[in-house]
């Protein structure tokens, strides 16, 4: 009997460090489902519309860190897309309810006194963020976390689905973040390739043809935050298409006055060549969020700009009311209109979304 007790005691003793390490691991996720009605009008023609239930960027993930000593920590994270319905709004995912789908971030890196450095698939949810996209999202504000039909900022810098846009997720990339003298800095360099075989298949496909570099900086003074971001596209082989964005610039600010928070951002995209008579486009958006108290908020956004590669002048309007059932559960109702007016003349196209959503974080 004594031998059995001794063995049990030793087992607990040796297992203790394992459980201690496990305490640094966090399991988290989000279920986000919407009922959406979309209709499209072009001139006098209308496609009408139908209601559909969609999963809006639902996900599950793990993240954690390990103390390596001397103020240095190993950090890691892995996140996958899940679907709370067979349709997944804005992510191209269809299939059985609850299915796991790869395609979100997965990273590993170090965090210490000199900042955080990570490698892997980077996006706005990992330790070093997506510099251009995340700052644009800060200026745009919002109550729906850029998920589903009521997306404030698109995840492609040249998108024609919203005014402000930046590249969200990039694989084969390195990320860095740090705060220096109150300035929050983030940077990301993406090789954009997939593997050695495809990257070295020929001169025009080297690293999928391009590398991308992004840098952002933001400084907060009391209730005022000001910031800017830079995007650089470096083509590694072949001749870039005129409509590819070569450089992107973003400037903006947010200001909080009691229950009211204002945001504004201006984005300039420069193309490799002439597109619809010009080689650069300017986009701008303003936003306001007002806390009504008791868990209620109201949000509005207006944006205007050029979409040269789409051949349109672009406008975006959004109005959302939300109510928090708890700290982790939010329900909301909102309307968005994205209008595209052809630069060369023609009928304007209006895409309207009326959306009711329920989001739970765990």
pLDDT tens over the chain, length 362 residues: 444 443 444 344 444 444 445 448 999 999 999 999 999 999 877 777 889 999 998 999 999 999 999 999 999 999 998 888 866 654 444 344 444 456 689 999 999 999 999 999 999 888 888 999 999 999 999 999 888 899 999 999 989 899 999 999 998 899 999 999 999 999 999 987 666 666 666 655 555 567 899 999 999 999 999 999 999 998 766 678 888 899 999 999 999 999 999 999 999 999 999 888 899 999 999 999 999 999 999 999 999 999 998 899 999 999 999 999 999 999 999 999 999 999 888 899 999 999 999 999 99
Q: Single out the residue of 171, 78, 66, 79 nearest to residue 110, CA to CA.
A: 66
Domains assigned to the chain: 27-361 (2.40.160.10)
pTM of the predicted structure, to 2 decimals: 0.87
Is the Cβ–Cβ distance between 263 and 287 less than 8 Å? yes
Q: Is 53 left (phi over 0), alpha (psi -120 to 50) or beta?
A: beta
Interatomic CA distance for residues 332 and 289, integer angstroms: 14
Is the Cβ–Cβ distance between 330 and 324 less than 8 Å? yes
Q: Tokens 């050029």 correspond to what residue?
A: 306
Interatomic CA distance for residues 143 and 354, integer angstroms: 15
**DSSP assignment letter at 165:** B
Q: How large is the greatest C-alpha to C-alpha distance in the chain, in angstroms?
A: 91
Strands 329-342 and 312-324: antiparallel
Q: Single out the residue of 293, 294, 303, 232 nearest to residue 265, CA to CA.
A: 303
Q: Tokens 């210490």 correspond to what residue?
A: 112
Q: Which two tokens stand for residue 118?
A: 């990570």
């Amino acid at each position: 009997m004594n031998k059995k007790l001794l063995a049990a005691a030793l087992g607990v003793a040796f297992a203790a460090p394992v459980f201690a390490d496990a305490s640094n691991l966090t399991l988290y996720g989000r279920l986000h489902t919407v009922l959406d009605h979309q209709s499209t009008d072009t001139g006098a023609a209308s496609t009408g519309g139908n209601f559909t239930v969609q999963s809006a960027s639902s996900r599950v993930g793990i993240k954690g860190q390990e103390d390596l000593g001397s103020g240095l920590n190993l950090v890691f994270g892995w996140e996958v897309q899940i679907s709370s319905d067979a349709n997944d709004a804005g992510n191209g995912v269809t299939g059985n309810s609850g299915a796991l789908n790869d395609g979100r971030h997965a990273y590993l890196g170090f965090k210490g006194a000199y900042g955080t450095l990570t490698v892997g698939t980077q996006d706005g949810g990992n330790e070093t963020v997506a510099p251009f996209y995340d700052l644009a999202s800060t200026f745009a504000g919002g109550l729906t976390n850029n998920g589903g039909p009521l997306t404030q900022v698109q995840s492609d810098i040249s998108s024609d689905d919203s005014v402000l846009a930046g590249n969200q997720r990039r694989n084969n990339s390195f990320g860095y973040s740090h705060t220096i003298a109150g300035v929050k800095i983030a940077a990301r360099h993406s090789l954009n390739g997939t593997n050695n075989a495809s990257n070295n298949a020929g001169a025009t496909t080297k690293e999928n043809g391009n590398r991308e570099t992004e840098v952002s900086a933001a400084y907060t003074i009391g209730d005022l935050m000001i910031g800017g971001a830079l995007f650089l596209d470096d083509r590694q082989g072949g001749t870039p298409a005129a409509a590819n964005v070569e450089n992107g610039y973003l400037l903006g600010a947010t200001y909080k006055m009691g229950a009211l928070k204002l945001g504004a951002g201006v984005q300039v995209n420069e193309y490799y060549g002439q597109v619809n008579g010009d080689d650069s486009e300017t986009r701008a958006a303003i936003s306001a969020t007002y806390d009504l108290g008791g868990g209620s908020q109201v949000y509005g956004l207006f944006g205007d700009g050029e979409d040269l590669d789409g051949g349109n002048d672009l406008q975006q309007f959004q109005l959302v009311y939300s109510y928090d059932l708890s700290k982790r559960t939010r329900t909301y109702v909102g309307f968005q209109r994205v209008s595209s007016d052809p630069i060369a003349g023609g009928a304007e196209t209006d895409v309207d979304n009326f959306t009711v959503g329920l989001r739970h974080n765990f």
